[in-house]
């Protein structure tokens, strides 16, 4: 009940248009720096969370503590933004939950043949690791979809392709830096393998980011809808197909639910006579 009371005042809140150019410039710098710190901390604190879990023997508590450290730049950055909105309004959690549940339920029905076969495995997963898994995706969506993408859309005229490219470059830069010692020490024969691996990662991250950014804009920045879709697709990839497929082949299966929801979104808007929200791609 407390959560519902907090979210209701923001349900009809409209997106900020644009403040002044000076504030926008400062806000963009804050977003890029804080988000970069968040990505950098993620690479280092993942190992820290694993070690803490071994010490405390409590997966959820250790994961919460690690996530608090990893996301700390985002919470600080959200407070530093200057746009005339409150701290909680900038988090954008007041979107239409009912609309999100309808879309996610419909997509689940379309993918139900895959889920029914592994339903017992799914229940076992929820009982053992589900809470930590949901928390990780929830926080990741706040950091990427809300703090990074939504705010950059508010303060700039950048489209989804440019924002996705910036995110991909930031993420890969820290990923390469964290594994730089392995790359330097590796034999020269392995360098093409590393190059191909990072190229595949770039394509996967960029394409998936474009999809989620597009979905987020088309459904008028509905956080709960995108969060639910990502949960569904994450389960679809990790627990339906498992680890038996090669990494880059596995990611091709994202196209199945992604294509379904893209087609469904376009058909729904045509039926309702609603225009597509994405007018600018770059």
Instruction: Convert the pLDDT of each residue in 153-187 to its tens digit.
Output: 888 888 899 999 999 999 888 888 877 777 777 67
pLDDT over 70, % of the chain = 72
- Global pTM value: 0.80
User: What average pLDDT does this structure show over 63-92?
Assistant: 84
Q: In the predicted model, is pLDDT for residue 33 greater than 90?
A: yes
pLDDT digits (tens, 9 = 90+) for 187-229: 777 777 778 888 888 888 898 899 999 999 888 888 998 998 8
pLDDT digits (tens, 9 = 90+) for 220-274: 888 998 998 888 887 777 665 555 444 555 566 667 778 888 888 888 888 888 8
Pairwise pLDDT comparison (276 vs 142), residue with the higher score: 142
Give the pLDDT confidence score for residue 244 in this predicted structure: 45
Cα 197 → chain centroid: 21
Q: In the predicted model, is pLDDT for residue 57 greater than 70?
A: no
Which band of pLDDT confidence, cut at 50, 70 and 90, is reported for residue 31? Answer: very high
Pairwise pLDDT comparison (124 vs 134), residue with the higher score: 134
pLDDT over 90, % of the chain = 11
Pairwise pLDDT comparison (187 vs 115), residue with the higher score: 187
Q: In the predicted model, is pLDDT for residue 51 greater than 50?
A: yes
User: What average pLDDT does this structure show over 70-90?
Assistant: 86
Q: In the predicted model, is pLDDT for residue 135 greater than 70?
A: yes
Structure tokens at 263: 């087609």
């Amino acid at each position: 009940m407390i959560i519902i009371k907090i979210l209701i005042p923001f349900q009809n809140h409209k997106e900020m248009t644009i403040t002044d150019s000076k504030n926008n410039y400062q806000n963009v710098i804050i977003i890029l720096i804080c988000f970069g710190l968040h990505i950098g901390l993620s690479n280092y604190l993942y190992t820290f969370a694993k070690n803490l879990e071994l010490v405390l023997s409590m997966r959820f508590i250790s994961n919460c503590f690690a996530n608090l450290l990893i996301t700390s730049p985002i919470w600080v950055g959200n407070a530093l933004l200057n746009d005339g909105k409150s701290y909680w309004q900038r988090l954008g959690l007041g979107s239409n939950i009912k609309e999100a549940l309808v879309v996610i339920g419909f997509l689940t029905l379309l993918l139900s043949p895959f889920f029914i076969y592994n339903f017992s495995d799914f229940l076992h997963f929820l009982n053992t690791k589900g809470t930590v898994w949901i928390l990780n995706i929830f926080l990741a969506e706040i950091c990427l979809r809300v703090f990074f993408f939504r705010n950059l859309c508010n303060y700039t005229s950048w489209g989804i392709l440019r924002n996705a490219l910036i995110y991909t470059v930031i993420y890969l830069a820290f990923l390469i830096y964290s594994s730089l010692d392995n790359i330097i020490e590796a034999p020269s024969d392995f360098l093409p393998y590393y190059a191909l691996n990072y190229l595949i990662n770039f394509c996967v991250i960029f394409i998936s980011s474009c999809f989620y950014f597009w979905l987020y804009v088309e459904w008028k920045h509905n956080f709960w809808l995108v969060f639910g879709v990502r949960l569904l697709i994450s389960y679809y990839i990790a627990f339906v197909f498992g680890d038996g497929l090669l990494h880059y082949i596995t990611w091709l299966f994202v196209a199945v639910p992604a294509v379904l929801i893209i087609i469904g979104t376009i058909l729904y808007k045509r039926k309702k006579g609603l225009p597509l929200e994405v007018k600018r791609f770059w």
